[in-house]
Chain A
């Protein structure tokens, strides 16, 4: 597990991942571990973005493909950078397939803008906020929402409002 001590007050620590050239952040407190892409067992009759289940040391954990979730076509060929981020949502473990996990950063809470401060887009309910880090913009997702609703979300919806 990637962890560098608990963040100081007024600071958040984010695991940064990449999806289709866009940078996203997840609060490190939500992340259980990051795995290399492993074999996924497909499950019939589920939403398209549910890739299937994996064996995490004997636990059966469902895995969501974030590319499919946001309507981005699959990458061509095998990508060795591909990772599965295991997070905990409402007491259950869920894996997220992302293009790559790049780093863990700390940033002050005040440099995170919440969607209500900006022009609210139609799908802002899936976004916790946008973090400004140097000249980079990190979209911080509301993972519970994204995983538990059936609603279609596209990447452009997430980008729309900032």
Chain B
């Protein structure tokens, strides 16, 4: 493995630790007495420090070292997890995140000594009275008493109690076997009073490279040592007298050891392996090809009358479908990855403004395509910020309105058919259509007489219009006027849609509907001017046949009436320069029209021929052909021909 690959692994693992730390600090703020949280943070900081140290990222290592010390003080109850400590910890986490991105970009890490000194100071000011950090709980005390008792009894019998530390060779493959042999050998010599980790873990091999046992025996220390060292792949054995009175050897030394155990246990229980996304994408691409080729083989076999061939092909078909489903699941990740950043965002906001906001997150386990997860973050951040900034009233105003002082923002996700629905809901002031009207007139987005004709719903939809921002003051949180239309276009680029449901004085709810996956879509194949094109079924409402006499002209635009609506006809031939436009005025000719919908716009696409529906694998056209008007990508058809996928939203 090259250094760069190690770096990638480091960065991705470090990011996970950072996430854990962030979440823990957030929880700690709410529950400052929670020792488990501090333990978890300590472990995360410790692991991060170790990793950064090994990789030579000194600034990360030194900052995490200071944080670790702070956690230690909190754990020993020398300092309290009060606000200034929490804030300083958040500050450190932000700096760590910055450092990490510097590492990722291959830049020099910036200096952390300022913050490290602050962290140091916070410990000094608190630990003035230096309480004895005796953490021994009653239970531990009891245990120790029991142990003492046993040792005493052993000594009465003329036996000794030793602490045996065994280190297994690092290269050893079957640690559990070696551990078993050691345990067996020790049992032959005496009895094991306790082992660290427990015997079950020893049997499973879930320990780092060393473990300890407290052994009661009539043999001498040297005898035990030589016996155990006789076992192959055992690197080192130490046998020392075990005394509970001495400041508990099993407490100081194994504390590190036990930590390692926990770490290891956590890793094995996660049952996760890391795979580079490139490798995953390659696999997914290949399966896509397989799917396409299967279709082709099935088509070719239609004319062959061979039942055995048919049977095996059916099998192949089934297996390929299952494989495709399994591989598609690999692309899916829980939306938690995106939602995780919001508690912090909301917390920081509540601190800086006089608004108290409670964030409720639901359905964070909902899975969707990784490529969607990567892009959906920004729009959601925007919506949540908007809700906090414009939606939720100031605390004082809320009192007047008889609303609860604590405002609520709800972020939720759920599956609905082949879609994922994400909602951002607040119980703030809602969107007032009158305000939107005034604003729209001011900005010159619509003429006043047009606005009069529009329904409230239509008016509210104007917030998605380019260059619209209702906030009276431009804040650092939101309101630069480029917001909602950017949100809308990002979501539409993902083949999704966004809607808003709002009631003045009650609150607003933004509803985002996204497809589950982007890699394979169902498409209608059509012929236009001799070429084959694919239209995503997602955006197709209906296929209709219209004869020339049903086509009217309104302001130089060919239209048809369709379910009591006037529908614009789009000639793809002329739009995509695929030869002569259709002769729509000729009598007695029937045209195929595909009714498509993108956002709220509908149109009828004129096509020459419908071929049929098919699942297609979306391929990008590469950098050179990026950003083509009207074309969303390409796909390879079963016969090997390349068909272009139409970008419906830019054509209607």
A interface residue numbers (CB < 8 A to B) = 39, 41-46, 50, 52-55, 58-62, 89-94, 147-148
Contacts and interface: CB of A to CB of B under 8 A. Distances in A.
A39 B641 contact: yes
23 contacts: A41-B641, A41-B643, A42-B531, A43-B628, A43-B644, A44-B575, A44-B576, A44-B577, A44-B630, A45-B577, A45-B628, A45-B630, A45-B631, A52-B642, A53-B621, A53-B625, A60-B642, A90-B623, A91-B623, A92-B622, A92-B623, A93-B622, A94-B622
B116 interface: no
A62 B625 contact: yes
B619 A43 contact: no
Contacts of B297: none
Given A53-B634, A53-B642, A55-B641, A45 B624 contact: no
Contacts of B109: none
Given A55-B641, A90-B623, A92-B624, A45 B634 contact: no
A55 B621 CA distance: 11
Contacts of A41: 531, 634, 641-644
A90 B624 CA distance: 10
A60 B624 contact: no
B628 A60 contact: no
A128 to B, nearest CB: 20
A62 B624 contact: yes
A93 B620 CA distance: 12
B435 interface: no
A161 B374 CA distance: 50
A93 B619 CA distance: 13
Interface of B: 285, 288-289, 292, 531, 575-578, 619-625, 628-631, 634-636, 640-644
Nearest to A92: B622
Max count, chain A CB within 10 A of own CB: residue among B621, B624, B644: B624
Contact of B622 (A44, A46, A52, A62): A62
Contacts of B634: 41, 53, 60
B608 to A, nearest CB: 15
Contacts of B576: 44-45
B636 A60 contact: yes
Contacts of B623: 90-92
A50 B628 CA distance: 12
A144 to B, nearest CB: 11
Nearest to B643: A41
Given A43-B631, A45-B631, A50 B625 contact: yes
B578 A44 contact: yes
A92 B619 CA distance: 13
Given A43-B631, A44-B577, A55-B636, A62 B621 contact: yes
B538 to A, nearest CB: 21
A90 B641 CA distance: 26
9 A-B pairs with the lowest CB-CB distances in the bound complex, closest first? A44-B576, A41-B642, A60-B619, A58-B289, A60-B634, A92-B622, A55-B636, A55-B642, A53-B642
A58 B636 contact: yes
A60 B531 contact: no
B355 to A, nearest CB: 47
A150 to B, nearest CB: 11
A113 to B, nearest CB: 30
B628 A61 contact: no
Contacts of B635: 60
A46 B641 contact: no
A86 B531 CA distance: 24
Central interface residue in B576, B629, B642, B643, by most chain A CB within 10 Å = B642
A54 B625 CA distance: 13
Nearest to A42: B531
Contacts of A44: 575-578, 628, 630-631
Contacts of A50: 624-625
Nearest to B286: A58
Contact of A46 (B285, B289, B628, B642): B628
Contacts of B622: 60-62, 92-94
Contacts of A54: 642
A41 B636 CA distance: 11
B281 to A, nearest CB: 13
A126 B631 CA distance: 30
A71 to B, nearest CB: 20
B643 to A, nearest CB: 7
A86 B634 CA distance: 19
B64 to A, nearest CB: 36
B294 to A, nearest CB: 13
Nearest to B629: A45
Nearest to B576: A44
A43 B641 contact: no
Given A39-B641, A55-B641, A46 B636 contact: no
B124 to A, nearest CB: 53
Contacts of A89: 624
Given A43-B644, A50-B624, A60-B636, 11 more contacts: A39-B641, A41-B643, A45-B577, A45-B629, A46-B625, A58-B289, A60-B621, A62-B621, A62-B624, A92-B624, A94-B624
A149 B623 CA distance: 13
Contacts of B628: 43-46
Contacts of A59: 619
A149 B448 CA distance: 46
A147 B636 CA distance: 24
A41 B635 CA distance: 11
A147 B624 contact: yes
A61 B285 CA distance: 15
Contacts of B624: 50, 62, 89, 92, 94, 147-148
Nearest to B577: A44
A58 B630 CA distance: 22
Contacts of B640: 55
A43 B619 CA distance: 14
Contacts of A91: 623
Nearest to A40: B642
A59 B630 CA distance: 21
Of A46, A55, A62, the most chain B CB neighbours within 10 A belong to A55
